[in-house]
Amino acid sequence: MTGMIVKALSGYYYVRAEGEASDSEPVQCRARGVFKKRGESPLVGDKVHFSLTENGEGTVTELFPRSSELIRPPVANVDLAILVFSVTEPTLNLQLLDKFLVHIEHAGIPAVLALSKQDLESEGEFTEEAALAASSVNRIYRKLGYEVYGTSSRKSAGIRELKERLEGHLAVFAGQSGVGKSSLLNALVPGLTLETNEISNRLGRGKHTTRHVELIDIGGGYVADTPGFSQLDFGELGVEDLSYCFVEMRKLSPDCKFRGCTHVHEPGCAVLAAVEAGEIERSRYDHYVLFLEEMKDLKRRY
């Protein structure tokens, strides 16, 4: 039989058979020993072949090739990342937003931005700083080709549009804590009652809990219920990969005079010329330089 792993927990893989309804119980499976010998490990999101055993459980017998693989969180075949940032409480941090985007671009996954807590604007709880941050996200990131959705879980604003965008995808939600990721998931799936902060507690942030990844069926698509990219260090990235993860630099790099240009001090650098001409957003370039230093510092320490 063919199916997809929707949950992994304590050495068991829970597989939903192809064509089964979303409310049907997945089959609890063990993986064949051959995977261990090959150094392979089934992941949530994997499409698999499995066979049923006599006790009503099953065995995962084969993994299909993956379109993508994330290390943190460990999910396969994610084809959309929803970056959730609140416009206020906590205040929108563009440096952190760029850091998330670097990791998602490096993983080769299309990213969509969701600005949560938009209802606070209409309720007059917007500081000038929050209003400025929201407008700069729209101005900077739309121009780079990223889709931006304004959402409010309390007022259901933007929820239908976001749900339509998720249709047919296996998505991961990422973003700093406290931005309303669980509230957004609750709004997307009526009847899902994830308490705010419950996701992180359920997944090993509390004292007596088990860390696991699970797919939530949102009707026509799946979302990985996970703390997301919780540790954003640059250990997995090479210094030469960084500029590739900034879409505007990726386009200009071939026009630089020198191959392997770091876009910091080289003569004939197309990126530096674009920054000077105001064609590349200064905040994005400053964050690039900052991340570059962070990566070099990391390499020096090891």
Question: pLDDT tens, 265-286?
Answer: 999 999 999 999 999 999 999 9
Compare 113 and 23 and report the one with higher pLDDT: 113
- Domain match, 258 and 288 both: yes
170-174/80-86 β-pairing:
parallel
User: Does 198 have pLDDT greater than 70?
Assistant: no
> Quick one: tokens of 12?
């068991």
- pLDDT single digits (tens) 21-59: 777 889 999 998 888 888 888 999 999 999 999 888 999
* Helix H or strand E segment including 248: helix 247-252
212 in the same domain as 84? yes
- Residue 70: how many CA atoms within 13 Å on its side-chain side? 31
Residues 200, 90: one domain?
yes
Q: Which domain holds residue 112?
A: 80-225
Q: Work out the angle between the directed axes of helices 181-188 and 159-166 (0-180°, nearest 10).
A: 80
Secondary structure (3-state) at 83: strand
DSSP 56: S
| Domain CATH number, residue 259 | 1.10.40.50
Asked if 281 and 191 sit in the same domain, the reply is: no
Task: Judge whether residue 203 has pLDDT over 50.
Answer: no
The annotated binding site for Zn(2+) is made up of 256, 261, 263, 269
Residue 71 lies in a domain: no
pLDDT interval class at 202 (50, 70, 90): very low
Helix (H) or strand (E) run with residue 216 in it: strand 213-217
Residue 110 buriedness (CB in 10 A; 0-12 / 13-18 / 19+): middle
Inform me whether the pLDDT recorded for 200 exceeds 70.
no
User: What is the band of 84 on the pLDDT scale with cuts at 50, 70, 90?
Assistant: confident
Last residue of a domain, one of 201, 225, 249: 225
Q: Rounded to the nearest 10 degrees, what angle do helices 94-106 and 282-301 cross at?
A: 70
Check whether residue 41 and residue 169 sit in a common domain: no
Q: Which residues are annotated as a binding site for GTP?
A: 116-119, 175-183
| Residue 214 forms part of a structural domain | yes
Statement to judge: residues 271 and 215 lie in one domain? no
Binding residue numbers: 116-119, 175-183, 256, 261, 263, 269
Q: How many domains does the chain have?
A: 3
Q: How do residues 129-145 score in pLDDT, each as one tens digit?
A: 667 777 888 899 999 99
Q: How far apart are CA 282 and CA 182, in angstroms?
A: 33
Residue 259 in any domain: the answer is: yes
What pLDDT sits at residue 160? 87
Q: Hey, which residues does 12 pair with through a beta bridge?
A: 9
Positive/negative CA dihedral, 87, 90, 95, 101: negative
Which pLDDT band holds residue 206 (cuts at 50, 70, 90)?
A: very low
- Asked if 134 and 107 sit in the same domain, the reply is yes
pLDDT at residue 107 is higher than 90: no
Percent of all residues in the chain with a pLDDT value above 90, rounded to a whole number: 42
